[in-house]
Amino acid sequence: MERICLFPGTFDPVTQGHVDVIERSVHLFDKLIIGIGINSSKQPMFSVEQRTLWMNEIFHNDPRIVVSSYSGLTIDYCHAVGARFILRGIRYISDFEYEKAIADMNRMLAPDIETIFLTCSPLYSTISSTLVRDVIRNGGNASMFLPKEVKI
């Protein structure tokens, strides 16, 4: 059975931390789907199309990585694409507490799907999309937090 993993997120914008988690985890699976979640209650800074384009540019040389977008429950999307694993990046203890609650809920709803946590490399642990958006909104240079393909 093919080991398919979904790495869900808004990736608004994709950061060096996201890339780190993806590059360190992709060898664990036959296929890694970067799932750009569409949340109707959030107003993203960048369009789904732009975020998809960035991800495709960053990972265009790795056939194991697929980029897509989805809305609704993550576990429903996992079932739709045949993913048995959900990957979540953890920066701090507070991330773990939040992500563990979601993983527990997902496990109750879909016991066939495992959530895997991967800690972020220390170099990128302070980077979050929220902070990067704040830098961008205030006219700062966020390039050191972003992959070279993300030109803002």
Q: Which of 27, 42, 148, 151 is catalytic?
A: 42
CB atoms within 10 A of CB 151: 8
User: Is 42 considered catalytic here?
Assistant: yes
pTM of the model: 0.95
Q: Does domain 4-145 have CATH number 3.40.50.620?
A: yes
User: Angle at CA 16, nearest 5°, toward 92 and 75?
Assistant: 65
Q: What is the average per-residue pLDDT within 111-120?
A: 97
- pLDDT for the residue numbered 39: 84
Amino acid 96 reads F
User: Is 137 considered catalytic here?
Assistant: no
User: Is 91 considered catalytic here?
Assistant: yes
Run of H or E residues at 148: none
- Give residue 42's pLDDT band: very low, low, confident or very high (50, 70, 90): confident
What is the rounded distance in angstroms from the CA atom of residue 5 to the CA atom of residue 85?
5
Six-digit token string for 41 = 């209650």
In the chain, where the domains are located: 4-145
